[in-house]
Chains A and B, each alone.
Chain A
Amino acid sequence: DAKTTQPNSMESNEEEPVHLPCNHSTISGTDYIHWYRQLPSQGPEYVIHGLTSNVNNRMASLAIAEDRKSSTLILHRATLRDAAVYYCILKNSGSARQLTFGSGTQLTVLP
């Protein structure tokens, strides 16, 4: 399976943008890039996903490098409620292999 590498932790100030990086140098052409986050004492929550083009939704933006070997999840204005563990996951469209979670990035938002 193609793997992802994320920093263990990051800090951000409230109301400032946050850029969460993810490296996936062995990504295949049919791997989708998924982002989930897990707030304390809750299950993971879907954030966004993409294949090649940048994606935007109400929660975040996903910027995908042209060679697809890295991506960045962008929270445009961090709030205290965005403090969570963020997971970057590759999911192959051509197989039945399931979502495999790594350790993610613990985001701390400072007031």
Chain B
Amino acid sequence: ETGVTQTPRHLVMGMTNKKSLKCEQHLGHNAMYWYKQSAKKPLELMFVYSLEERVENNSVPSRFSPECPNSSHLFLHLHTLQPEDSALYLCASSQDFAGGYYGYTFGSGTRLTVV
């Protein structure tokens, strides 16, 4: 366990389904992130939250909807996904979202398959 817990670990969903990915950290970190890792591609940053406010959204389609109800929890709501959205979705947290000094702690990810 890294201190960042993601559930579920695996998810298979149809293109018309609605599902949510959950991320939880109790490290006292103030920033949380969603990354997407497609097969044989580098990690792509999707969303950044600092103190529960979204500070960055990297042109992610609206079928992905993040939610950060408090500094310990982060959700990614999914609806009407496409097969090309199948990927490993990773959550991370850090002490602060700015600055080079702090490292990130990643969860183990949710392996999503869209059928």
Contact = CB atoms under 8 A, between A and B. Distances in A.
B42 interface: yes
A34 interface: yes
Interface residues of A, number: 25
Given A98-B45, A98-B56, A101-B43, A42 B101 contact: no
Contact of A96 (B42, B55, B101, B103): B55
A89 to B, nearest CB: 10
Contacts of B91: 43
Interface in B48-104: 48, 55-56, 90-92, 97-101, 103-104
Nearest to B40: A103
A98 B97 contact: yes
A41 B107 CA distance: 11
A11 interface: no
Contact of B106 (A45, A51, A96): A45
Interface string A9-50: 000000000000000000000111010100001111110010
Contacts of B55: 96
A43 B90 contact: yes
B48 A43 contact: no
Given A42-B108, A43-B107, A43-B108, A101 B42 contact: yes
A45 B97 contact: no
Interface in A73-111: 91-93, 95-96, 98-104
Centre residue among B99, B100, B109, B111 by max chain A CB count within 10 A: B100
Contacts of A100: 45
Interface string A45-83: 110010100000000000000000000000000000000
Interface of B: 2, 4, 33, 35, 42-43, 45, 48, 55-56, 90-92, 97-101, 103-109, 111
